[in-house]
Chain A
Amino acid sequence: MTTTIFVPRDSAALSVGADQVAAAFVTEAARLGKEIKIVRNGSRGLFWLEPMIEVAMPKGRIAYGPITPDDVASLFVANFLNGGAHPLCRGFTEEIPYLKKQERLTFAGGNY
């Protein structure tokens, strides 16, 4: 089954290595034979967690961050493709208090 991973690509996320993180996911998934689809979206604005990646799960997205390329292998080990526990796991994105308290309007171009 193909799992969708969201990796931001706005300038703030790129400034802390989001491109290198996205590339590391592709490499590691290929090495392990896992099917993933990377969607480059806009940032949710939680810059202290950037690069903050999200995994699409049936009940909503689960966030992990801040991620460096060195964390990617351990995320696969932690079964993050199924929302597995990891020290950098932030739970359901929509439940993060900073986001939950906001009403957000976003543009379709952000690929959210």
Chain B
Amino acid sequence: MDTSKSISADELRTPCVDLLTQPGPLLLILHRVQEKLGFVPPSLVPIIAKELNLSRAEVHGVVSFYHDFRDHKPGKHVVKVCQAEACQAMGAERLTEHIQSRLGIDLHSTDKNDNFTLEPTYCLGNCALSPAIMFNGALFGRVTPLRFDQLAQEPAEIE
């Protein structure tokens, strides 16, 4: 799927063909689209709705309900930093401030070079190894500012 032009129903169907026969495939399709494109383009919402015989409002409701789905293209590397209780108790606020200053961006934003996107998340289930982050989909525990800097320097290491 190429996002530079609007996506046709055929272009959606091809990568999702194995999902369309499943009962209730909306979430599966949205995950597949985000996996392929990094986000769910708003222009796809009416196409997905038509394919599944749902209203646009229903599809939009699901996309906007789950914060994991994005409606715009993320940076090359996506960093999610946990803000939940256990991580907060272990210094997540300080770690978040460090990451923000290291990347030069706030939460919910992408840097000018489209290199990093920084997002908050609320529990990665790694509470005993707080503070936790996800870096390009990989989970990291006991993250210190130093450890984050190492990851940010060599993101290829974990791809």
Contact B139 A15 (CB under 8 A): yes
A107 to B128, CA, bound (A): 22
Asked if A38 lies at the interface with its beta carbon under 8 angstroms from chain B, I say no
Q: Which residues of chain A in 42-75 are interfacial with respect to chain B, using CB atoms and an 8 Å cutoff?
A: 47-48, 50
Contact B128 A16 (CB under 8 A): no
Asked if A29 lies at the interface with its beta carbon under 8 angstroms from chain B, I say no
Question: Which one of A11, A14, A16 lies within 8 Å of B142 (CB-CB)?
Answer: A16
A12 to B86, CA, bound (A): 15
Where the two chains meet, the residues of A that have a C-beta atom closer than 8 Å to any C-beta of B are 11-12, 14-16, 47-48, 50
Overall SS of chain B's interface: loop
Q: Mark B65-94, 1 if CB is under 8 A from A, else 0.
A: 000000000000000000000000000000
Q: List 24 A-B contacts (CB under 8 A).
A: A11-B125, A11-B126, A11-B139, A12-B126, A12-B128, A12-B129, A12-B141, A14-B139, A15-B126, A15-B129, A15-B132, A15-B139, A15-B140, A15-B141, A15-B142, A16-B129, A16-B140, A16-B141, A16-B142, A47-B128, A47-B129, A48-B128, A50-B129, A50-B141
Overall SS of chain A's interface: helix
- Beyond A12-B141, A15-B140, A47-B128, 5 additional contacts (C-beta under 8 Å) are A12-B128, A15-B142, A16-B141, A47-B129, A50-B141
A15 to B132, CA, bound (A): 8
Nearest CB in chain B to that of A43: its residue? B128
Q: Which residues of chain B in 109-148 are interfacial with respect to chain A, using CB atoms and an 8 Å cutoff?
A: 125-126, 128-129, 132, 139-142
Residue numbers in B under 8 Å from A12 (CB-CB):
126, 128-129, 141
A14 to B115, CA, bound (A): 25
